[in-house]
Structure 1
Amino acid sequence: MDNEAGKNNKVPFEEDNYTHNIHKNNERQLDRRGFLKTMVGAAGVFAVSTLPWGGLAAKELMGFGQSSHPKKKIADVQALKVGEAVEFHYPGDHESALLIRLGDNKYKAYQNACTHLKCPVFWSREEDQLVCPCHHGFFDPQSGKPTAGPPRRALPEVVVEIEGGAIYATGVKRYET
């Protein structure tokens, strides 16, 4: 029996086989546990590095960050008759907007990219509403809110002021939900 016990404590062949190298020093530089620790650490570094951008986005969406827009002349009051509209670019040169004269002293301006898929929005004097021809979206000219079609959000309103016989754009109102 001693002979059998002695045989059990010995390796029957030399340990030059790769299956027996897990007990040798420095054979495994990165085992499963080490790999998982590395991945969790990398994910943590990534999460922490995105916090400043998330903070800026939250600040903008919640309205804590105030954007200042330049004052820009759109048109002269005499040049725009009641029921007419004029297209202009505001706040940037690549952002199109639409000014509508709804009454003698009533002007409304909206960014004219549909809130559904950013198609251009046009003023329809005959229908007395803003129309998106891409998917038949319609918006109320008084509020910019959708009245029909797929759009669910109102058009962003451009703030206008009358000064010295001219109409100026002075800012963009935030989205209202």
Structure 2
Amino acid sequence: MEKNNRFPFEEDNYTHNINRNNERKLDRRGFMKTLAGAAGVFAVSSLPWGALAAKELMGLGEKEYPHQKITDIAAIPIGDSVEFAFPGEHDSALLIRLGENKFVAYQNACTHLRCPVYWVKAEGEIICPCHHGKFDVKTGEPTAGPPRRPLPEIIVKVEKGAVYAVKVKRYEG
């Protein structure tokens, strides 16, 4: 019996598939064109999300959240405060009753280094104990210490004998 030592291809086993006529060639120039095209497609596809993020970060959108009951009016005496969470369960906030029908609410984090702030009724100010920051209770503007930006205000609505949190007012700057 004679052994057939011939390969079924004209080339040897290592090179029979290298030079196919229908195979796409990808040289450096083709690779760079493909890479630039893919980067362009990615950039264009991410534009809408970037625009939405920029709008939110720049404070152009005051998003209204589902109205959340903070407290009943009868449960908070004039001059007192109530802590609550808004807009999310981990977002601490502070409601202060200034008059018969006058309420203000702010996010409960100093705009300097995010320390919690406290309402001091005797002084009529919102205080940050970390670096002795003080904020005007009527506007949320800083009056002393290192904070330079006002506290983000939470818009409240009095309705049916209760106070509701409606939205967070964003500040530019």
Tell me the TM-score normalised to structure 1 length. 0.70
What do the CA deviations read for 1:97-125 (whole angstroms, capped 9, x no partner)? 00001112211000111111111011011
Amino acid paired to 2:157: E
Residues 62 and 167 of structure 2 are in contact (CA less than 8 Å); yes or no, is this contact kept in structure 1? no
Which residue does 2:159 correspond to in 1? Answer: 163
Which residue does 1:59 correspond to in 2? Answer: 55
Residues 154 and 176 of structure 1 are in contact (CA less than 8 Å); yes or no, is this contact kept in structure 2? no
Q: 1:80 aligns with which of 76, 81, 95?
A: 76
Residues 73 and 163 of structure 2 are in contact (CA less than 8 Å); yes or no, is this contact kept in structure 1? yes
Q: What residue ranges of structure 2 are gaps of 5+ in the alignment?
A: 1-26
Which residue does 1:106 correspond to in 2? Answer: 102
Q: What is the alpha-carbon root mean square deviation over aligned residues?
A: 2.5
Which residue does 2:149 correspond to in 1? Answer: 153
- Identity among equivalent pairs (%): 64
1:136 aligns with 2:138: no
Which residue does 2:9 correspond to in 1? Answer: none
How much does 1:42 deviate? 8.3
Aligned pair count reads 148
Q: Within 1, Cα distance between the matches of 2:155 and 2:33?
A: 53
Which one has the largest radius of gyration? 1
* Structure (1/2) with the larger helix percentage: 1
Residues 140 and 146 of structure 1 are in contact (CA less than 8 Å); yes or no, is this contact kept in structure 2? yes
Amino acid paired to 2:63: S
Q: Within 2, Cα distance between the matches of 1:95 and 1:61?
A: 17
Q: Within 1, Cα distance between the matches of 2:107 and 2:91?
A: 7
